[in-house]
Structure 1
Amino acid sequence: MNKVVTGALTPGSHLIDVAGVRQRYHVAGSGPVVLAHPGGPGLSYEYLRMPAAERHLTMVYVEPIGTGASGRLPAHPHGYTRERYARALDGLIEHLGVDRVHLLGHSHGGFVAQHYALTRPDLLAGVILYDSAPVTGADHFAEAARNMEAFARRNADRPELPAVLATWQSLGGLSDDEGTTRAARGMLPAYLADYWDHQEEYAPLFSITGTFISGLDEQLVPDPIDDRAALPAIRTPALVIAGRHDVICGPRWANELADGIPGAELVMLENSGHLGHVEEPDAFTRAVTSFVLGGAR
């Protein structure tokens, strides 16, 4: 999907201007509109392609500002707060001309989707929090560290394990695009529930690229996330999806999101890690399409 086309929801790649910043997005499929916001922040959107869902839904894959061919902020790599990503989504939704959309956010994209549901509920028909969490910081990192220790125990006999663990230890020192890409690829074995027995199947994921995004605002102040107290204020219909073996945003956080959001539906993918749309595409697609099409009736 590299050819730029006209018509806001015509299949293909699109470029628009949102408040002076270039926004690229990609359309595939037909049916109700679902915006898909990838994670990272800074990961290329391609890993989030959902061909099975495209048979039922119009998937609009967002290439977030600061990433890929979308524009950079003047303070790049700083300034990419959740509110700034939300303003970019405002412009994109207005451009699409759809009254209300479903917003799917994966990983860090889930953090953005939560913020959007809290601040702009009237623009959403539903929100899908896919491998997300209600909080970042020390508590989130400690949970991830425990999960990585469990991953290491399960795979202690794998000769490739030290390289994955070295990548994990390097994440706090990322400072450029090359390092971000290398880390994204190096972490993939830990992000999948059963990578080493399916290496050929998962090989295409290693085309993923990353842009370094600092996590600081324009004043170089961290943009922490703690939505726990705010979750009951989300009135948008919500679907929470997580992989049972996700080391980053796994069952603990999925349960907290589902328990905190009134009426939220929880789907746990029992044989997935952080990439259930690739690991269990049929179960993932059933959950998403049932949620979206049920709400579209």
Structure 2
Amino acid sequence: MTVQLYARDVGTGTPLVLLHAFPLSSAMWLAQREGLAARFRVITPDLRGFGGSLLGPEDPSIDVMADDVARLFQRIGVRRAVVGGLSMGGYVAMALCRRHPGLVLGAVLAGTRATADSGPVREARLRQAERLEGEEGVQVLVDDVLPNLVGPTTLQRRALVYGRVRGLVQATPPQAAAWAQRAMAGRADSFGTLRGLKVPALVMVGDEDVLATEEEARAMVEALPNAELLVIPRAGHLSAVEQPDLFNQAVAEFAAALARTSH
């Protein structure tokens, strides 16, 4: 059984495929669909098990998630796209660059890292997966993951944004979250992929991000042959949700430059 990803698909122009963070869904890209659809075809899939996409029987794997996205390209008639991913979406975007490089016109990697998990991080993910499978609900995500998704500025000054993120976390299907944690725990280092990337990349990180740090973002930029770094002020892990205008402006400039050179 191959999973068909549910995707929101708005606007026209150069395709921009945005892959969501854990443990959210494509609903997190609302400000990107609204802000970028006037200039680009904005495609925001729900990764397998999240939002409107089924989980399927496959073993947990970031590569499986990347192959799902490649099949989506084919289904909706997209030959090449600027592919952006935030956090877990960044892991999937890097796997797509490795497994299906011909689909990628440029890469936007936000709030993500190219290293594999350290032992303690991997163990924490697997513990969470077991709790998610054993308990009826996602309280472990609300307790352990939600506090690090947004920065202190958002907590103090953007109550509506925090409330929205909290609602998205609470809506996560527990089985999907467990599957995704196992997939992330098993992922390999992606620095080889970055070093071999033939297309330009934009790496973004929130200056208040404690999950994917500016240091890790700089290491990615150093590995990439053609990349720029943007540090987004007063944003934590979910820069696209916390500072959508800055995020959208950077992505629009990056994608527009690619569109000019690819014709």
TM-score range for the pair, normalised by the shorter chain length: 0.7 to 0.9
SS of residue paired to 2:4: strand
Matched-pair contact (CA < 8 Å) for 1:35–1:59: yes
Match of residue 46, structure 2, among 59, 63, 79: 63
Q: State TM-score, norm by structure 2.
A: 0.83
Tell me which residue corresponds to 2:56. Answer: 73
Query: What is the CA distance between 1:247 and its match in structure 2?
Result: 1.0
> What runs of 5+ residues in structure 2 fail to find an aligned partner?
none
* 1:232-280 C-alpha deviation (Å, 9 max, x unpaired): 1111221111101111112121111111111111111021111112222
SS of residue paired to 1:133: coil
Question: Is residue 113 from structure 1 mapped to residue 75 from structure 2 by the alignment?
Answer: no
Query: What is the CA distance between 1:111 and its match in structure 2?
Result: 0.7
Matched-pair contact (CA < 8 Å) for 2:61–2:186: yes
- Name the structure, 1 or 2, with higher relative contact order (CA <8 Å, separation 6+): 2
User: Which of these two proteins has the greater Rg computed from alpha carbons?
Assistant: 1
Tell me which residue corresponds to 1:83. Answer: 63
Question: Is residue 125 from structure 1 mapped to residue 90 from structure 2 by the alignment?
Answer: no
CA distance in 1, matches of 2:120, 2:19: 21
* 1:74-116 C-alpha deviation (Å, 9 max, x unpaired): 25xxx13121112111211011212211111110110111111
Query: What is the CA distance between 1:229 and its match in structure 2?
Result: 3.8
Tell me which residue corresponds to 1:293. Answer: 256
Match of residue 156, structure 2, among 196, 221, 224: 196
Matched-pair contact (CA < 8 Å) for 1:117–1:236: no
What do you get for the CA RMSD once the two structures are aligned? 2.8
CA distance in 1, matches of 2:192, 2:5: 32
Q: Relative to total residues, which structure has the larger helix share, 1 or 2?
A: 2
Identity rate, percent = 23
Matched-pair contact (CA < 8 Å) for 2:16–2:42: yes
Q: State TM-score, norm by structure 1.
A: 0.74
Query: What is the CA distance between 1:137 and its match in structure 2?
Result: 1.6
Assess, with a 3 A threshold, how the Cα gap between structure 1 residues 204 and 212 changes in structure 2: closer, same or farther: closer
Matched-pair contact (CA < 8 Å) for 1:23–1:65: yes
Matched-pair contact (CA < 8 Å) for 2:94–2:193: no
Tell me which residue corresponds to 2:28. Answer: 47
Match of residue 253, structure 1, among 216, 231, 237: 216
Assess, with a 3 A threshold, how the Cα gap between structure 1 residues 225 and 179 changes in structure 2: closer, same or farther: farther
SS of residue paired to 1:98: coil
Pairing of 1:162-201 with structure 2 (within 5 A): 171=128, 174-176=131-133, 179-180=137-138, 183-184=141-142, 187-193=145-151, 194=153, 195-201=155-161
Matched residue count? 247
